[in-house]
A and B are shown apart, each in its own frame.
Chain A
């Protein structure tokens, strides 16, 4: 069975988007720097991302693109323009939340309101590969329910100051992690943690 891996780019002060994030401004004001390590302005959909990257950043992105299913929060999914219905290689996408009437009709996309159930379905669908988890709120819910196996943080050397945090409004229970791997690369420090406790 594959692992459920929350994968997010985060500033040193814990933000995954700047302030005023919304449609057309998915990373918020000043938040583009968080994705600069893998994205260029000429490739907004980052469909060619793995071909362009080299070294450690390439290895990290290859791993993301080798996942067998995606679980994403409804908000992140909408802000990413639903990835045109295909995050990578047509793998199944499970959106946590209810389908908005305006949402696209994509064969690979399933809506599921319960995060634990979404992860169960995604793990089954991933065929032994890992499941990519995206979105702050979805990550928080999965951590609180104890259904997340790993957290991969791409720590970007900036203090963003304001915006949307990856870890926020969490209960005061400690969640213990184990650093499995760390690697520096241009513009980012990759930190891979295993979740030791949860729920």
Chain B
């Protein structure tokens, strides 16, 4: 069965965006620091490997905030794979491209797993990640750990009701010399 894997860039202090994020300022104040490493996303080696694994997924789950802040990816995140947006309050009007709005977390996971077939499902968004985690529907975390303390912003994991045990799978260290563009890719399996 398809694995549902979260892909998120996170600072060492746990933030995925800077403070005061909005549609006009989707990464918050100075939050784009986290995405420096993406300048090297097509490098041969670990960065290219992680990104091509992500783009080999055959379905996507996104939270509403991430979806809106990313301009709805113009209806196509990659290769036209189905995008399931988990939202309490679906927007009026038909969704663009391969996007579908879903209000139930289990239904979202079920639809995405079916759509992905033998491939995996990628997830973007802190809120939806926590919702999937709480519903026991998240299988793995692929964290792009950036060597910076952001100090403030929106956290990837905030106030989970109880501990979740993880299993370390792998660590990939891209050989980037520029200190501003370094990242460590860490993968964990979620025990449930």
Chain A positions within 8 Å of B148 at CB level: 174-177
**Complex Cα–Cα for A193 and B12 (A):** 10
B164:A172 contact, CB within 8 angstroms: no
Chain B positions within 8 Å of A12 at CB level: 141, 143, 157, 166, 188
* Residue count of chain B within 8 Å CB distance of chain A: 39
- Tell me which of B30, B155, B179 contacts A178 (CB under 8 A): B179
B50 at the interface (CB under 8 A from A): no
A44 at the interface (CB under 8 A from B): no
- Tell me which of A160, A170, A174 contacts B163 (CB under 8 A): A160
A143 at the interface (CB under 8 A from B): yes
A13:B156 contact, CB within 8 angstroms: yes
> Shortest beta-carbon distance, B141 to chain A, in Å?
8
A179:B14 contact, CB within 8 angstroms: no
Chain B positions within 8 Å of A184 at CB level: 168, 171
**Complex Cα–Cα for A177 and B12 (A):** 9
- Which residues in window 140-199 of A have CB below 8 A to B? 143, 151, 153, 157-162, 165-167, 170-179, 182, 184, 189, 191, 193, 196
Contacts A172-B29, A184-B168 known; A161 to B149 CB distance under 8 Å?
no
**Complex Cα–Cα for A178 and B13 (A):** 14
Chain B positions within 8 Å of A14 at CB level: 13-14, 155, 157
A161's nearest neighbour on chain B, judged by CB, is B160
A156's nearest neighbour on chain B, judged by CB, is B166
> Shortest beta-carbon distance, B56 to chain A, in Å?
25
Contacts A12-B166, A157-B168, A170-B151 known; A179 to B159 CB distance under 8 Å?
no
Of B30, B165, B166, chain A has the most CB atoms within 10 Å of the CB of B166
Chain B positions within 8 Å of A189 at CB level: 168, 171, 186
**Complex Cα–Cα for A13 and B12 (A):** 9
Contacts A176-B147, A179-B182, A179-B184 known; A13 to B33 CB distance under 8 Å?
no
A85 at the interface (CB under 8 A from B): no
**Complex Cα–Cα for A1 and B96 (A):** 61
**Complex Cα–Cα for A196 and B148 (A):** 9
> Shortest beta-carbon distance, B154 to chain A, in Å?
12
- Tell me which of A170, A176, A191 contacts B13 (CB under 8 A): A170
**Complex Cα–Cα for A171 and B155 (A):** 15
A167:B163 contact, CB within 8 angstroms: no
Please list the 10 inter-chain residue pairs (A to B) with the smallest Cβ-Cβ separation, ordered nearest first: A161-B160, A167-B13, A13-B157, A157-B166, A177-B147, A170-B151, A175-B149, A14-B14, A159-B164, A172-B152
